[in-house]
């Protein structure tokens, strides 16, 4: 998936797994992106996998809630 699709997937997983509103999940992902959490993903699209999205959703939720 593309980098943008990956960010969308992480956001969706946060809303589904943790019951947050879309706006809250989007804000978390945007903060993580501003902190360069996803910088490696943009450089190497091969790591933008569904398995990695599940892991990153968990990390972003814990770190940015």
**What is the per-residue pLDDT across 14-62, written as a single tens digit (0 to 9) for each?**
999 999 999 999 999 999 999 999 988 878 889 999 999 999 999 999 9
Q: What is the pTM of this model?
A: 0.93
Q: Which CA distances in Å does 40 have to 24, 44, 48?
A: 23, 6, 10
Q: Which CA distances in Å does 38 have to 19, 59, 64?
A: 22, 12, 14
| Cα 37 to Cα 53: distance, rounded to the nearest angstrom | 12
**What is the per-residue pLDDT across 36-46, written as a single tens digit (0 to 9) for each?**
999 888 788 89
Can you spell out the DSSP letters for 23-56? HHHHHHHHHHHHTTTTHHHHH-GGG--HHHHHHH
């Amino acid at each position: 998936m593309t980098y943008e699709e990956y960010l969308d997937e992480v956001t969706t997983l946060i809303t589904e797994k943790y019951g947050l509103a879309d706006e809250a999940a989007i804000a978390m992902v945007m903060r993580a992106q501003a902190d360069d959490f996803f910088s490696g993903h943009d450089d190497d699209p091969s790591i933008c996998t569904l398995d990695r999205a599940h892991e990153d959703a968990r990390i972003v939720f814990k770190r940015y809630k």
